[in-house]
Structure 1
Amino acid sequence: MRTLINARGTYTIISGSRALDCVAAAMVEATNHYVHLDELMTRVGERLAGLTGAEWGYVSSGAAAALAEVTAASIAGADPEQMARLPDTTGMRNEVIMQAAHRNTYDHAIRMTGARIVEVETVEELEAAFNDKTALVAVTGDQAHRGKIPVQAMIDAARRHGIPCLVDAAAERPDVPNRYLEMGADAVTYSGGKCLRGPQASGLVLGRKDLLWAAFLNAAPHHGLGRPMKAGKEEIMGLLAAVEAWVRGRDHDAEWQCWEGYLARIRTAVEDLPSVETAIEQPGISNVAPTLTIRWNPEALQCTPQQIHQELLDGEPSITVHVLKDGLRIMPYMMEEGDDAIIAARLRELMGKPHVLPAPSVLEPARADVSGEWAVDVRYVFGCSAYTAALTQEGNTLRGELRTPFTVSPIEGTISGSAVTWGAVLGYESSRTRYAFTGEVTDGVMRGVVTLGEYGTADWVARPAKAAADA
């Protein structure tokens, strides 16, 4: 198993952050003792309150788990009968008000409780959305700039109507005093495995004690909807150690200077190469660290950002960075001492040697007409799905729609010779995936591979709908 040099950030898919030594030590110590988890969370909640200035705090198994647990508490409270019924919310408050601009893939954690998200875009729509079914107002902190309604206005509206307000601040800094609690939010969630550098499978929740204790009752070790979302004594004590370090131990100014030093070394290594332009960019409220962007003219440097990105990944050691359309971005957040020298040398080496640039894409005249309706069968690693693709073809251009049992999605693509490439976006509400189909037309049948983003690939075959029905 290869390890990575992480110059990309605290993404869960690349294992987030490296836990602080004090965190690892706390987890090891915790595993040597037996405790009652209700009593442990009571004591840890008190300590978190003392450290952060919040009324109370608790430890979840992650920021997304906390979204589900706080939502469940807002719907069912601490009533065991109602908790046992989730995600069936019949007879309960189950509406969560959220700005459309704040929707994201993580609000699936809210929906999984049985909640129905009510989207609003204006202050007037916000006010009109409250009713006797409203359970929660949800805010995504780092999406505030996208919405028309300020975060403070969302919180104020929730308070006027006596409804809890939850802020998802997963990748933000849990600084003291807490900006969202000072605004009047009832609960704020943070990832434990990002800037805190606590256990990767942990989350920090701060806010009102009654709401947070109800959220904990909806989670493990109790037997509500959140029972699968277990934070053990090791994660609980590890995260407490991380918060202690954040508030009382870490030198945040020194960390920033260290990150700037890493970027300066990498910048110096490449900035004299032909056409290269570099810039240090300052962060927003999430993933708070400076970044270095490196842009260049592929013709002048004889390499593309995509080629360099792939060679960094494929090298030894493997290095992961952000790839942009016209360059690379280096994020020093989770870099370790010495990583900057390795990255600088590797970038200099790869960008300093000529590559064979990809040939411009030229479409061949189509050797088939795929206009019409097609029965599309997709076979996943487990399970299969049947769709209908209605295609129109004009020269090399394909358009149409993909019909599933749940939705209809536009199709755009091309045909070059007998090679087809087309795609559609499927999913539900804000949880959406692009299905990228590639394949060949042979004897009136299309077949190939569909790429599913983070979900891997699947095989597909399409036959004319009438022929498939007759068969």
Structure 2
Amino acid sequence: MIIPKHSRNVYDAAVRAVGARVIEVKAAEELEAAFGPRTAMVYILAGPNADEGPLSTRAIAEVAKGKGVPVLVDAAAEILTIPNVHLQAGADLVGYSGGKCLRGPQTAGLLLGRKDLVRAAWVHSAPHHGFARGLKVGKEEATGMLMAVEMWVRRDHTAEWSRWTSWLEHISRRVATIGGVTASVVQPVGLSNRTPSLKVLWDPKRFGISGETVARELFDGDPRLALFPARGEGEGSETGVSINPYMLSPGEEKIVADRLYAFLSNPTRKDPDAPLAPPVADLSGQWDVGIEYAAGTSRHVLHLRQRGNEIDGSHQGDFVSRDLSGTIDGDAVRIRSLYTEENGDALVFTFSGRIEGDS
């Protein structure tokens, strides 16, 4: 299975689960050389990187068709386009999530394209006893998916967009009355998660609280609000939250506005901008770390270099090594490593604790 570098993500594990070996390509010349007699498919994640350039869907499809290899576009997060933009660009198959833009069943989706390939996917899933039998979509979900598509093609998308915008403007007017808070509606680019959004920003030094903390506190509150942390685009250090309206029901924009206003109009300073305390120890060296997961355990190694309050180094796990960074504030230690999804998986580790004696 060939995947362009720009399309590696955590979801390509679903394709690897059938036993396919991934061949990653970074340039057009690598693409041409990657095809062989056992190449089963080319997988592309829909998005700006697949829209243009030497490894766009159209460019890849032209090469793949000459090799007799089908191209699948993963458009799970996109809006459904009719006629379909990916099939028009040369893809053989395109998949959509039922539970995102279509707002249908979370357990269902759409597979569109070449009839013989769609039929082959069906043969290997329920009601047959192929690989995907354990991933069966029930009659209820199939019917719900059909209804979601029918509603999609009948929906007044222009009126819906105006309604979403009006909700964001209501929230914006409410929070913008707080001194030091700005709010602006952001229009989307591309087809993925296509919805306007509201970015609410403030100075963390003035308010003593970050967007990450606000998002977490509102998510843990009652009623629960799911917002995204956000940051300003300039050189400044503005923090904030981003609000997406397309899962809201009428009237819920008032709940969001009131909760966010109450939080920001009288903020509790949970993220004070205080200087870090002198470190009580030097953690430079090799540290063996025991990790307990929800199911299983492992031993990792942290190679640390400390310079003042800053820590950097590497984190060696079971299979891969990645960079780490962190701080030591007096006796409080916080270290973080990240293995990004462009490698086909995402692994984020955060280690925190306090120094006691030699441990």
TM-score (norm 1): 0.69
1:317-355: CA deviations, max 9, x gaps? 222211213222111111101111222222222222243
Aligned to 2:280: 367
- For structure 2, the residue ranges without an aligned partner over 5 or more in a row are 232-238
| Matched AA of 1:364 | A
Of structures 1 and 2, the larger Rg is shown by 1
Instruction: Report if aligned partners of 1:303, 1:351 keep a CA contact under 8 Å in 2.
Output: no
Within-5 A mapping of 1:285-324:
285-300=191-206, 304-324=210-230
Cα distance in 1 between the residues matched to 2:52 and 2:144: 34
Aligned to 2:311: 398
Within-5 A mapping of 1:129-278:
129-142=34-47, 143-144=49-50, 148-247=54-153, 249-278=154-183
- For structure 1, the residue ranges without an aligned partner over 5 or more in a row are 1-95, 446-471
| Matched AA of 2:138 | G
Q: In structure 2, which of residues 331, 349, 355 is the aligned counterpart of residue 435 of structure 1? A: 349
Between stretches 384-393 and 361-370, larger displacement belongs to: 361-370
Greater RCO structure (CA 8 Å; 6+ sep): 1
| Matched AA of 2:349 | Y
Instruction: Report if aligned partners of 2:57, 2:90 keep a CA contact under 8 Å in 1.
Output: no
Cα distance in 2 between the residues matched to 1:145 and 1:124: 18
What CA RMSD, in Å, does the superposition of the two structures yield over aligned residues? 2.3
| Matched AA of 2:124 | N
1:84-109: CA deviations, max 9, x gaps? xxxxxxxxxxxx11210111111111
Per the alignment, do residues 120 and 398 of structure 1 end up closer, same or farther by CA in structure 2, a change over 3 Å counting?
same
Instruction: Report if aligned partners of 1:391, 1:398 keep a CA contact under 8 Å in 2.
Output: yes
Within-5 A mapping of 1:6-17:
none
| Matched AA of 2:356 | T
Per the alignment, do residues 294 and 231 of structure 1 end up closer, same or farther by CA in structure 2, a change over 3 Å counting?
same
Deviation at 1:409, TM superposition (A): 2.5
Instruction: Report if aligned partners of 1:101, 1:146 keep a CA contact under 8 Å in 2.
Output: no
Cα distance in 1 between the residues matched to 2:227 and 2:355: 37
Deviation at 1:288, TM superposition (A): 1.4
Q: Indicate the SS of the match to 1:318.
A: coil
Deviation at 1:300, TM superposition (A): 4.9
Cα distance in 2 between the residues matched to 1:268 and 1:194: 28
| Matched AA of 1:274 | G
Deviation at 1:189, TM superposition (A): 0.1
Cα distance in 1 between the residues matched to 2:245 and 2:181: 20
Between stretches 380-389 and 306-315, larger displacement belongs to: 306-315
1:99-144: CA deviations, max 9, x gaps? 1011111111111111122122222222222221211111111242
Q: In structure 2, which of residues 13, 36, 47 is the aligned counterpart of residue 108 of structure 1? A: 13
Per the alignment, do residues 328 and 387 of structure 1 end up closer, same or farther by CA in structure 2, a change over 3 Å counting?
closer
Within-5 A mapping of 1:316-335:
316-325=222-231, 326-335=239-248
Cα distance in 2 between the residues matched to 1:357 and 1:289: 31
| Matched AA of 2:9 | N
Instruction: Report if aligned partners of 1:413, 1:421 keep a CA contact under 8 Å in 2.
Output: yes
Instruction: Report if aligned partners of 1:301, 1:352 keep a CA contact under 8 Å in 2.
Output: no
Cα distance in 2 between the residues matched to 1:163 and 1:364: 60
Q: In structure 2, which of residues 325, 341, 359 is the aligned counterpart of residue 412 of structure 1? A: 325
Q: Indicate the SS of the match to 1:181.
A: helix
Instruction: Report if aligned partners of 2:43, 2:71 keep a CA contact under 8 Å in 1.
Output: yes
Q: Indicate the SS of the match to 1:320.
A: coil
1:181-238: CA deviations, max 9, x gaps? 1222111000011121211110110011111111122223333322221101111111
Cα distance in 2 between the residues matched to 1:406 and 1:313: 34
Cα distance in 2 between the residues matched to 1:435 and 1:228: 31
| Matched AA of 1:370 | L
Cα distance in 2 between the residues matched to 1:335 and 1:130: 45
| Matched AA of 1:214 | A
Per the alignment, do residues 294 and 400 of structure 1 end up closer, same or farther by CA in structure 2, a change over 3 Å counting?
closer
| Matched AA of 1:271 | A
